[in-house]
Amino acid sequence: MNKKLNIWQLTPPQILVLGFALIILLGAGLLTLPFASASGESLHFIDALFTSVSATCVTGLVVVDTGSSFTTFGQIVIVSLIQVGGLGFMTMATLVAFVFRKKITLRERLVLQEAFNQGSMEGIVRLIRKVIIYSLSIEAVAALIFTIRFSFDFDFPRALYLGIWHSISMFNNAGFDLFGTVDAPFVSFTGYVGDFVVNVVAMMLIILGGIGFVVIADLIDFHKKRKLSLHSKVVLSMSGLLLIVGALGIFIFEFTNIRTLGSLDFGSKLLASFFQSTAARTAGPNTVDLGALRQASQFLIIILMFIGASPGSTGGGIKTTTFTILISAIVTMVRGKEDIVIYRYRLAKDRILKAITLSMMALFLVIVVTMILSTTEDSSFIKILFEVTSAFGTVGLTLGLTPDLTMLGKILICLTMFAGRLGTITLAYALQPKQEKELFRYPEGKITIG
């Protein structure tokens, strides 16, 4: 009786952490089955666990090539984990509740509120209904376009399978792909570097999945309201700015690099630059060899991966809104102002403190894991930093280090992906003991800064 009571007393953050952990373990168990592996032999548990974590946390880092190492069953398990991990297991549970006309309880609403980082429970079920409809609709349209395009390269059943699979993977910002073969593993989308249709559809999926469901709902309802919320304005403006800055940076740095963009025509150079800038925002696919990029480009991608997508989306990172608040705080301080004002709205101090806390916790996590891996892995510092940031941002881009990770390295990257998907603050709330309200306040003190 006490055990049952303890389960019901779990906080929303603890339910989220436990739910994701159980899904990961279930996925790892299925991927270790012999008929999930193309070789017919059971995949090593740590490799199955790594793949399950990467799929559920919609990252895309892989220790074995997805296209050549797994059977159709294994690939379906992976794409199912991607869908559940991207939309959130509570969203999928709500979908089941809708189908069976089950009422959403107050506790379930609280968990959904935590999962989508909403300020209140008001309209949360309505939002979830929109999330499900929008997600499935977007994936269906993209799957149709992908299928038509892939039918020129494969027979129709294979093209349909690839179309649906990659539509789910790209929209959920997972970065997994099935284009690798035994002779050429880990090729990602490099075979479509100059393909306009594949690039544009993939980028649109990544962007729509990365801006967040609240923003998508806001955009769809724009014709009724004739205005966007402050959240949507910040997300759209910062996402657009980062996309353009990232693309221009990669274009300039790699323009003469014969191993990346140098051998392409001008149009393909632009397309590849925008694709890689988009993918760096937590998606994971690549159309050029990332290991051949100049270090300036690699470091730029590290910055983009650390910032990540937007709140309530399928992506990770510290989020575009957090980055906007940090930049605005710097500008406000330099200008000698007291309040941070964005689009004529003053931000509350608790929002600013949360942004700073989240950023510092994320930076601390990346630094610590990078330092540990620098001693356990036989690789360059830039490769390790790139890998860790990719894991934290749930991006999936790699410079080739993932398959060569040691056992400890795989475990640390798994933990980093898990923290990146759930969020460092959510994880901290889940692990800390129940807080009691303080009955007093200490006197204010002053510390010299700068």
Using left for φ > 0, alpha for ψ between -120 and 50, and beta otherwise, residue 319 falls in left
Q: What is the pLDDT of residues 89-110, one digit of tens each?
A: 556 655 555 555 666 666 666 6
Helices H / strands E in the chain, number of each:
20, 2
- In sequence order, the β-bridge partners of residue 137 are none
- Rounded distance between C-alpha atoms, residue 185 and residue 182, angstroms: 6
Q: Which helix (H) or strand (E) holds 342?
A: strand 341-342
Q: What is the pLDDT of residues 358-381, one digit of tens each?
A: 999 999 999 999 999 999 999 999
Q: What is the pLDDT of residues 2-47, one digit of tens each?
A: 444 454 566 767 777 888 899 999 999 999 999 999 999 999 999 9
At residue 116, does pLDDT exceed 90? no
DSSP string computed for 354-391: HHHHHHHHHHHHHHHHHHHHHHHS-S-HHHHHHHHHHH
Q: What is the pLDDT of residues 125-152, one digit of tens each?
A: 777 788 888 889 999 999 999 999 999 9
Question: What DSSP character marks residue 346?
Answer: E
Q: Which helix (H) or strand (E) holds 131?
A: helix 124-150
Rg (CA), the chain: 22
Query: Would you state the structure tokens that stand for residue 286, as one six-digit string?
Result: 């690549």
pTM above 0.85, yes or no: yes
- Across 370-388, b (16+ Cβ under 10 Å) vs e yields beebeeebebeeebbbbbb
Q: Scanning the structure block, which residue is given the tokens 């490099």?
A: 190
Give the pLDDT band (50/70/90) at residue 217: confident
DSSP string computed for 1-51: -HHHHHHHT--HHHHHHHHHHHHHHHHHHHHTSGGGBTTSSPPPHHHHHHH
Q: List the alpha helices (DSSP H) in 172-319.
A: 196-211, 213-220, 222-225, 230-254, 266-279, 295-307
